[in-house]
Amino acid sequence: MSEPTASIIPDDRVQPLSQKEFDRYSRNILLPEVGVERQARIRAAKVLVVGAGGLGAPIALYLAAAGVGTIGVVDHDVVEESNLQRQIIHGTRDIGRPKTASARDSIRAINRGVKVVTHQQALTSENALDIIEQYDVVVDGTDNFPTRYLLNDAAVFLGKPVVYGSIYQFDGQVSVFDARLGPCYRCVNPTPPPPDLVPSCAEGGVLGVLPGLVGTLQATEVLKLIVGDAEPLIGRLLLVEAWSTHFTELSISKNPDCPVCGQQPSITELIDYQEFCGVGGHDDQETPIASITATDLKTRLDAGEPVQLVDIREPHERALSPFPAAHAVPYGQLVRRIDEFDPSVDLIFLCTIGQRSVFAIRALERAGYQGALLNLKGGVAGWNQEFAQQKAG
């Protein structure tokens, strides 16, 4: 078990509660571990939630209900219908709105005493330090490795704790990374996995209630850091397996050779995290990936032009959203089935959102395939959205 930690809230920011606040938070105050003074610390706290998606939704809502005085929300995305299966901070009427605006309205609907600061932008190496510096604790509700490493490094440089969470399908993880008291994220994950081996939730799916479970655990860790004298998950990694309802705790240690928080750090400023994680750019030795839009593909199909459509999704994905005109070749079988493709005809790859297709094209290029290779931009999801909108129009 980890050691009890002191509150992260400076004493000089703690002010007495009003009678109205005393009444509102009475169920917290009745707990000996919280009481009046520590509820006042919750009111004085400033928490940054990075990501207003599946994890950020329950985190922000429960922190608002608990009385956290200032909640910052960082997100650059807009609400999509597919978000609503798990991102409970948004509703159907919010589709198309910025997630930060929708989150702000939901937080205020729960507790108008909370100050909501929206950061409608992506967290980058250029703005991360300025944004994070304003808050006492950062909550990781991200869904990608570049932002996760960026968040970790910025928090280490600023001396801030990060309440970490991640989800995929039925599995989740929770921990608290504070380089002053234990390991940081890089101590446990020194290098990111190859991007083609890590499908996103958009490609692999996620049980809708799982982010609620993991996000609520993250919100609990935030409150423990704020009130103090608790045992946060510093030096511990909690593994959550929702389908069989298993919780496993692992001990994790600070790495003395960590490039960010170790004894002789080699990373002393924020870097290019897209490049570090192998995403978002292209190798100078490789040609850019050619893409085709859903509209252009439909035009070619309607005109009867010869094309080879290859669906690299797994069987359960194809069953959920079929694309009958395509030849099914799962991603893992592509290279050994290369002889099935005709180099004289354009080969167009389909996946869920157009991400795995990029890796498929690179794999065939490395295998020496000589024909034209195209990626369906936006994948099958983009195709369905495009023509669903046209039909609705």
Residues annotated as catalytic are: 201, 351
Contact (Cβ atoms closer than 8 angstroms) between residue 170 and residue 207: yes
At how many degrees (to 10) do helices 294-302 and 379-392 cross? 80
| Residue 334 token pair | 């592509």
Can you tell me the distance from the alpha carbon of 362 to that of 213, in angstroms, rounded to the nearest whole number?
A: 37
Say which amino acid occupies 15. Q
What b/e string do you get for 44-73 counting C-beta neighbours within 10 Å, with b at 16 or more?
bbbbbbbbbbbbbbbbbbbbbbbbbbbbbb
Amino acid code (one letter) for 378? G
How many Cβ atoms from other residues are within 10 Å of residue 303's Cβ? 7
Q: Please give the DSSP secondary-structure letter assigned to residue 341.
A: S
Give CA separation, 80 vs 53, 98, 202, 350, in Å. 11, 10, 12, 21
Distance CA 10, CA 29 (A): 20
CA-CA-CA-CA dihedral for 82, 83, 85, 88, to nearest 10: -160
Cα distance between residue 255 and residue 188, in whole Å = 8
Residue type, 74: V
State the alpha helices, DSSP H only, in the chain. Answer: 19-24, 26-29, 35-44, 56-66, 99-110, 128-132, 145-158, 185-188, 201-204, 210-227, 273-276, 294-302, 315-320, 356-366, 379-392
